[in-house]
Amino acid sequence: MVLEVLPMLFRRSGGGAADTSCRRLLRVLWMPEFRRFAPNVPIVMVGTKLDPRDDRGYLADHLGTIAITPAQGEELRKQIGASAYIECSSKTQQNVKAVFDTAIKVVLQPP
């Protein structure tokens, strides 16, 4: 069932860690669906597109985009009850391995 829900959710997704609009979608749309279809599954919240956060050119080209700070990401993790929060960039490969390591750790050693 979760696999049927994910395409609907991702079509509505925004700009990753560089976009604060994602926070509202996560709280209001995604989490109720995840909890409905997979109530006991641990969640690792991943902030993607980490690389544009400090790129003034990217932010200038995407007016209205406000970068999410690590502290804001951690606060959101607590609000939604996720087991972990980690940021990454597929473009620069920063923390990509850590995302998978974290997911494995959460599954093998739940909080």
User: In this structure, what are the phi and psi dihedrals at residue 45, rounded to the nearest 5 degrees?
Assistant: -85, 125
The SS3 of residue 82 is coil
Alpha helices in 1-111 (DSSP H): 2-11, 21-25, 31-37, 56-61, 70-80, 96-108
100: confidence class by pLDDT, cuts 50, 70, 90: very high
Question: Model-level pTM greater than 0.85?
Answer: no
Asked if 15 and 63 count as a contact pair (C-beta separation under 8 A), the reply is no
Decide which of 9 and 101 is more confident: 101
Q: How far is Cα 36 from Cα 15, in angstroms, rounded to an integer?
A: 25
- In this structure, of 22-26, 41-45, 46-50, the range with the lowest mean pLDDT score is 22-26
Q: Which fold has domain 2-108?
A: Rossmann fold (3.40.50)
Q: Which amino acid is at 82?
A: A
